[in-house]
Structure formats: structure tokens, C-alpha cells
Amino acid sequence: MKRRNNNVYVLATIAIMSAVMFIFGFTPLGTIQTPGLTITLMGIPVAIMACVFGPIMGLVSGAIWGSISLIQAFTGMDAMGTLILTSEYISFPRKILGLICMCLIARMLAGFLAGLIFDAIKKKDKKGYLASLAASLSVSFFNTLFFMTLFCLFFFTSKTIQDNYVAYYIEQGFNASNPIIFVFAVIGLNFVIELAVNGIVGSLASFAISKAATRMGLYDPFFHFFRTKKISDNKNSPTK
């Protein structure tokens, strides 16, 4: 397999996944709306990139996701982002730093850790079934964990969030003045369904892409923390 063919494979996969993220981010295709639930599919392309190309590209794809989230916040496409930015009770530096951490840093960490988990499990799971599933599930898990933790850290005590979110969940019967209970009230069943959808679809897609690439003698040129075989060992792999 010639090197230029491998470059085409890498660039094409990255371009397609990036395009999917922009489509998911700026069209209704990125969400599944059910009665009372909104499930985001943005974790799927991030999981695919993390599984196929490892933690470095997981980090990059997470940055793309985070950048899209920031655009949504600053353009009024995201209700929570708009509420925070227009709040008179939150200082401007706090708004900007908080949104950058929530939208960008959280997603970058989620993508990076997913790639790291895939690499670590793949070292034992040679076929990659469990590695793909665990890494894909971890994207939604880490995204929710980091996003909600940073949200509470920066904005939970602000009058804006207390009046608009905490008060609502207290009316629903939750002790939402406790930030941990508040987080569980916010994510609810939505998180479980989102975790399952992103995990299953992401793992199946990433496994299929990796399997096809192996059969065609294509290889992953990116750095892996748990790599057991040098890239150079794969460069001349014959097409099967």
C-alpha cells in the first residue's frame, strides 16, 4: 500500500468526521428529540476519531466539538449559553472563562481520554470489540462529567442560574440547592439514553472503519501512548 493512499485515507476520514460534526452542530440532524428528552449525537464522530486515530485526534475532534459549542453559545443557538452571556449577575471574565472551560476544555478532555481508554484496552483486546465500546461510552460520560462539574464551579451559585434553573427543579420536587442533586436532576434519563446511543453507534462505526482500514493495509500515523507496534512496521503492509 503506497503512502499517498494512506494519507488519503487519513485526511478523508478526518474531513468526513469534521463535516459530520458541523452538520450535527448546526442542523437538527445532531439531535434526537423525544417527548421530554433531547439526545445529542455529537459524541459519535468524536468517539470514532478517538478509536480510529487515538488520543491525539480525540483531543483535536473534541476541540472541534467545543468550538462548535462556543459558536452556538455566542450566536444565541444555545439557550444556556445565551442566558449566561446576557446575565447581569455574572462578570464578563467569568462568563468567557466559564464557557471556554465548559464548551471547549471539557470536550477536548473527553476526546483525549476516550482515545487513551481505547489504546489501553486495545492492548489486551486485540480484536477491539470491548475497546471500541468502552471508548465510545466514555465520550458521553466524560463530556457530561466535565461539563456539569465546570458549570457548577463557575455558575451554580450565580443568581441567574439559581433563579432560572435551581428554582425550577426545586418546584419539581428535587433538593436542587445541593449541586450534586441538581446535576442528577438536569441530566436525568437523557444521559442514560444518550450514553447508550453514542456508545453503540460510535463503537460499531469505529470498529468497522478500523477493520476496513486493516484489510486494505492502511495504518494510523498518529502517536499512541500504549502502542506496541511501530508505525514503520505497518507502512509496507500488503493489501489483503
Q: Are 133 and 117 in contact (CB under 8 A)?
A: no
Share of the chain above pLDDT 90, in %: 66
Burial readout 142-155 (b: 16 or more C-beta within 10 A, e: otherwise) = bbbbbbbebbbebb
pLDDT at 33: 64
| Closest to 107 in 3D by CA, of 154, 151, 139 | 139
Element (H, E) at 166: none
pLDDT at 232: 38
- Per-domain residue ranges for the chain? 3-29+41-140+196-220
**3-class state of residue 135 by DSSP:** helix
pLDDT tens figures, 26-38: 998 888 765 445 6
Q: Which three cell numbers stand for residue 130?
A: 470491548
pLDDT tens figures, 3-47: 567 889 999 999 999 999 999 999 988 887 654 456 789 999 999
Q: Give me the CATH code for the 3-29+41-140+196-220 domain, please.
A: 1.10.1760.20
Q: Are 198 and 41 in contact (CB under 8 A)?
A: yes
| Closest to 122 in 3D by CA, of 50, 217, 32 | 50
Please state, in angstroms and rounded to a whole number, the distance separating the CA atoms of residues 78 and 15: 25
Helix axes 92-99, 79-86, angle to 10 degrees: 160
pLDDT at 4: 60
pLDDT tens figures, 96-153: 999 999 999 999 999 999 999 999 999 888 888 899 999 999 999 999 999 999 999 9
Half-sphere exposure of residue 137, counting CA atoms within 13 Å on the CB side? 10
Strands (E) in the chain, as ranges, are 31-34, 37-40
Q: How far is CA 73 from the centre of its chain?
A: 17
| Closest to 118 in 3D by CA, of 27, 46, 216 | 46
Q: Which three cell numbers stand for residue 70?
A: 462556543
Please state, in angstroms and rounded to a whole number, the distance separating the CA atoms of residues 209 and 48: 8
Strands (E) in 37-194, as ranges, are 37-40
